[in-house]
Structure 1
Amino acid sequence: MKGPRKMLAPMLTVLMAIGLLAGCGSNDDNNSTASGATGNDVKGEKITLRMIESLTSPKRTELIQAMLTKFESENPNIKVDFISPPFDQADNKIRTMLGSSEELDIMEVRDLNVAEFVNNGYVEPLNSYTEKWDDFATVSSVSKSVGTVADKLYFIPNGLYQRQMFYRSDWFEEKGLKPPTTWQELYETGKQLTDPAKNRFGFSFRGAGGSNGTTDAMILAYNGANVNVEDSMFTTDGATVYSTPEAKAAMELYLKIYKETSPPDSINWGFQEQVQAFTSGVTAILLQDPDVIQSLQEKMEEGTWATAPLQTGPTGKALFSAGGAGWGISSKSKHKEEAWKLIAFLSSPEVNTGFSKDFGLIPIHTSATEDEFFKTGPYKTLIDMSNKPDMFVNAKPPFEYPGTGQWGQVAMESGQALLLGQVSLEETLKKWDAFWVDQKAKVKK
């Protein structure tokens, strides 16, 4: 998912076709119905739901607003006050509203901050609602796990994000190159495609917000089978993945990829700059989630770009995880029944699959696997990866650690210092190791 974290993330068929998690049990006496019908509906009283999004963008906001308009037309007794802060201010805006007990019914919760919101008592468990919701049966197990903390579900994703490789097929054809299948090949291929005199570079590097999407992917791939897939910041013997010799080897290659295949100013690039460099013909290889597909289709000529699977490490494995954001109910909402009714509407197979097509996300329902839209074109790569589960391994992200939301900032700041030569690689890895050792200790307490 893009943003401070962009996490990380699985392939379409895995996301939609693997077995569903066991249904979440109710832990209260809530008498909600699948439809969310309440006394307000019966009496004809009109209520207003206050709803705020996090991952704002003009097109996304427009799409969500259209869905809300449809919901309001079908539910004339409910009005939705939709709040769309600027993207870089949205999460802090949500925290401020929740912390000050400002009136709020539905907020967009992210995999990065769900543990934080749960620990602060900001978000309502949805278990008692989903057990009465018929459509919950087709929500994929990965979609459920993204919004779950300690066996309780706190948000329904509005779509899933999973990284894949996008590359300039026209550049590759010019030089007779094939898409790189390993990180080492990515470096070697990137060097062949780099020509600073022509303002051409092999790799669309990202050194600012979200940079840990690359460093984490490389370190996990290099650790390979030694990663604890149920707790992916740690190895099977309990050490952090950053404390291993494999992590050092991965980061040594990471430094070479930046210095020898990437634009120098990409140390300051975030999501927008990274994608813009690719679409404008500055870079040849982009690692991103499927939400960039529409932008590429709009800005690039057909046949000039293509997709390929993720790169593997020395042992032939690539570890990935799904990321997502979605709709949760504020624990202090005065209209929880109506709030759930709206979430159920937005999360229905028809509405969610339509939104996923329009915005470029992976739908949350297993039924979407039968849709030809997701079986062809740039989405096909996700299915190709899912057909090789021994090579492309699904690892659970560290969403349940309270400090997960800060990890992106820590990794970015220390990573930039490393790239600038201000600190050594050993110092950087020790800092990253200490961060996750501390997170583990806090959870144990």
Structure 2
Amino acid sequence: MKITIHRSGRRAAVAVALGSVLALTVTACGDDGSGSGGGKGSEGAGKGEITFWDNNGGVRTDIWKQIIADFEKKNPDIKVKYVGIPAAGAQSKYDTAIQGGGLPDVGGVGTAMLAELAAQNALEPLDGRLEKSALNGRLSQNLLGVSKAAGGGDTLYQIPTSVNNGTLWYRTDLFAKAGLDAPTTWPKFYEAADKLTDRGGNRFGFTIRGGEGSIAPALDAVYGQSGITSFWNGDRTTVDDPRNVAALEKYVALYKKDTPSADVNNDFTKMVAQWDSGTIGMLSHNLGSYQDHLKALGKDKFRGVPNPTLADGTRVQVSNPVDGLALFKTGQNKAAAWKFIEFAVSAAENSKFNEAAGQVPSNTDAAKDTWIQQAEPTRLAAEALNGAHTKIVQLPYYLPDWNTISKADNEPNFQKLLLGRMTAKQFLDTLADQLNKAQAEWKQQKG
């Protein structure tokens, strides 16, 4: 596996963290609540001041301040100190606090950083608290599954708040003119991609993401078509399964046949702008681009539906990054901090947060609110996420090498694949080899 300086440093940091956890286990009679950041936590009196770190400060500051005001009104004996941290610096801010002290009582923690913080013994397990909480049974089971998997095992370290689900956007006016059904199944998707393409007229059925961020939507299309529902078979990844190879071959064959040639370099910004120009039939992106489409096309010319299903109605999709709230072991007022988490993820507040964020609520009662019913793409995404026929393939966010493998190593390879310089089998074999080695190293570090 290609080793970069970035990867080596991060792997070493996690290895040290895991070693520290094992050392604590050996030298202590049990888990004393101490983390790598030092200090022993306490339940506290359930009142007083707690500190909350927002991991998307600036973007979500206003809505979090509203939620905090609501919480303090209902709990006048608890004050919440808000600290906004820009998303790009959240991981390093937490890492620095773990090593030097000064972690908050509660903080926003996305699945991308969850395993690393858990490995450093910084997070409080939440299974027992959730079991006794009014939230129990009211959170999406699929999102809880993503949270547990991202934490590196079967322990819950994050209460999910929201997810930005993958969406297939399509031009209803172009579909109607061509006499096409909505692209709700993979066969209908491919039929529409071909029928809507007129290369001479500079019209295309689909736009494929070939630039930055290309791996997750490609894996979504691969597992969605193959129907394979697990990323691992034992300690070997399923990514190079022959069914996935066949699915990827079919997907990338769309490039330059039913898609613009510029797609090979397009990240989401360029891809969305290209689709909004009005000459392309379908776009695979998330709910975050809804307002862009609305502004460019108007509400009557497009729809957003969940990723296509298999012929039997089963929808298989890869896990999307989930945002959520975590409780820190070193906190001196865990009881009050947990009250804040319970309040923030209650139906009313979770609904308010996600309406502002334009994402799918984790609280299943919040997912029934009026604003979601009026925003069809979000409603359909929520129904799909919580549906009995949806199967989630858990991507290995817990692997220290995951970001490097899925971005630095294989985004350039995906471009080679589109350009015909690499076969689908070569691409997936390379990816599988890297993942299998990363998984083996992770398990070795865990002991």
**Secondary structure, counterpart of 1:70 in structure 2:** helix
Check if 1:244 corresponds to 2:245: no
Match of 1:285 among 282, 287, 291: 282
Equivalent position amino acid for 2:85 in 1: S
Please state how far the C-alpha of 1:385 moved relative to its aligned partner: 5.3
Aligned counterparts of 1:313 and 1:404: Cα–Cα separation in 2: 28
Pair 384,101 (structure 1): closer, same or farther in 2 beyond 3 Å: closer
2:308 to 292, 308, 311: 311
Q: Does 1:213 align with 2:216?
A: yes
Q: How far apart are the structure 2 equivalents of 1:336 and 1:212? A: 38
Q: State the partner residue of 1:349.
A: 347
Change (3 A) 1:438 1:66: same
- The corresponding residue for 2:425 is 426
Contact 2:50/2:337, CA 8 A, preserved across alignment:
no
AA aligned to 2:297 is: M
Deviates more, 1:91-100 or 1:347-356: 91-100
For 1:156 and 1:441, the matched residues in 2 are separated by: 28
Q: SS of the counterpart of 1:113?
A: helix
**2:57 is the counterpart of 1:51:** no
Residue 151 of structure 1: SS of its match in structure 2? coil
**CA contact under 8 A between 2:46 and 2:333: conserved in structure 1?**
no
State the AA in 1 paired with 2:55: E
Q: Helix, strand or coil for the counterpart of 1:242?
A: coil
What is the CA distance between 1:302 and its match in structure 2? 1.9
What is the 5 A alignment of 1:169-208?
A: 169-183=172-186, 185-195=188-198, 200-208=203-211
Give 2:39's aligned residue: none
Shift of 1:280: 3.8
Is the alpha carbon distance of 1:342 and 1:276 closer, same or farther for their aligned partners in structure 2, counting shifts above 3 Å?
A: farther
Secondary structure (helix, strand or coil) at the match of 2:183 reads coil
2:275 is aligned with what amino acid?
F
Question: For the residues of structure 2 that align with 1:411 and 1:69, how far apart are their CA atoms?
Answer: 44
Q: Decide which of 140, 151, 155 is 2:154's aligned counterpart.
A: 151
Instruction: Report percent identity of matched pairs.
Output: 25
Cα distance in 2, alignment partners of residues 348 and 385 from structure 1: 21
Q: Which position in structure 1 is the counterpart of 2:14?
A: none
Distance 2:319 2:423 in 1: 31
Q: How does 1:265-414 map to 2 (within 5 A)?
A: 265-312=262-309, 317-323=314-320, 324-368=322-366, 370-371=368-369, 373-375=371-373, 377-379=376-378, 381-382=380-381, 389=388, 392-409=390-407, 410-414=409-413
Corresponding residue for 2:135? Answer: 135
Q: Distance in 2 between matches of 1:325 and 1:416?
A: 29
Does the 8 Å contact 2:109/2:324 carry over to 1? yes
Aligned mates of 1:91, 1:262 — CA distance in 2: 37
Contact in 2 for aligned 1:218/1:313 (Cα 8 Å): no
User: Which residue number corresponds to residue 109 of structure 1?
Assistant: 109
Q: Do the aligned partners of 1:219 and 1:247 also contact (CA within 8 Å) in 2? A: yes
Consecutive unaligned residues of structure 2, counting only runs of 5 or more, are 1-29, 34-41
In the TM superposition, what are the counterparts of 1:13-28 in structure 2 within 5 Å?
Answer: none
1:260 counterpart (257, 262, 265)? 257
Shift, 1:168, TM fit: 0.9
CA contact (8 A) 2:350 2:366 kept: no
Question: Are the aligned partners of 1:242 and 1:429 in contact in 2 as well (CA < 8 Å)?
Answer: yes
* Residue 57 of structure 1: how far off its partner (Å): 7.0
Cα pair 2:167 2:377 within 8 Å, conserved? no
Q: 1:198 to 1:333 in 2, by over 3 A?
A: farther
Q: How far apart, CA to CA, are the structure 2 residues paired with 1:57 and 1:261?
A: 39
Supply the distance in 2 between the matched residues of 1:443 and 1:215 (Cα, whole angstroms): 25
Question: Where in structure 2 are the equivalents of 1:157-172 lying within 5 Å?
Answer: 157-172=160-175
What is the alpha-carbon distance in structure 1 between the residues aligned to residue 158 and residue 386 of structure 2?
29
State the one-letter code of the partner of 1:300: L
Q: Secondary structure at the match of 2:109?
A: strand
Letter in 2 for 1:240: T
Secondary structure at 1:153 match in 2: coil
Q: Secondary structure at the match of 1:179?
A: coil
RMSD, matched Cα: 3.6
**Distance (whole Å) between structure 1 residues aligned to residue 299 and residue 246 of structure 2:** 37
Greater shift in the superposed pair: 207-216 or 341-350: 207-216
Residues 89 and 425 (structure 1), Cα distance of their counterparts in 2 relative to 1, 3 Å cut: farther
Secondary structure in 2 aligned to 1:51?
A: strand
Equivalent residues of 1:52, 1:94 under 8 A apart: no
| Aligned mates of 1:80, 1:370 — CA distance in 2 | 31
CA distance in 2, matches of 1:96, 1:314: 49
Code of the residue aligned with 1:286 in structure 2: it is L
C-alpha contact (below 8 Å) 1:223/1:241 kept by paired residues? no
Question: What is the match of residue 85 of structure 2?
Answer: 84
* 1:49–1:335 contact (8 Å) kept in structure 2: no
Q: CA deviation at 1:218?
A: 2.5
CA distance in 1, matches of 2:270, 2:96: 29
The residue identity in structure 2 corresponding to 1:431 is T
Distance of aligned partners of 1:347 and 1:369 in 2 relative to their CA distance in 1, 3 Å threshold: closer
CA deviations over 1:256-315 (Å, ceiling 9, x no partner): 222223333333333333333333425321223334444444543121111334224688
Alpha-carbon separation, structure 2, partners of 1:209 and 1:92: 22
Is the 2:275–2:283 Cα contact (8 Å) retained in structure 1? yes
User: What's the offset of the Cα at 1:101?
Assistant: 4.0
1:174-225 alpha-carbon deviations (Å, 9 max, x no partner): 332223344454344224334566654322322234322222123213432x
Q: Please tell me the residue identity of whatever aligns with 2:139.
A: V
List gaps (5 residues or longer) in structure 1: 1-26, 31-35
- CA pair 384-53 structure 1, distance change in 2 beyond 3 A: closer
Please state whether the residue corresponding to 2:104 is helix, strand or coil.
coil
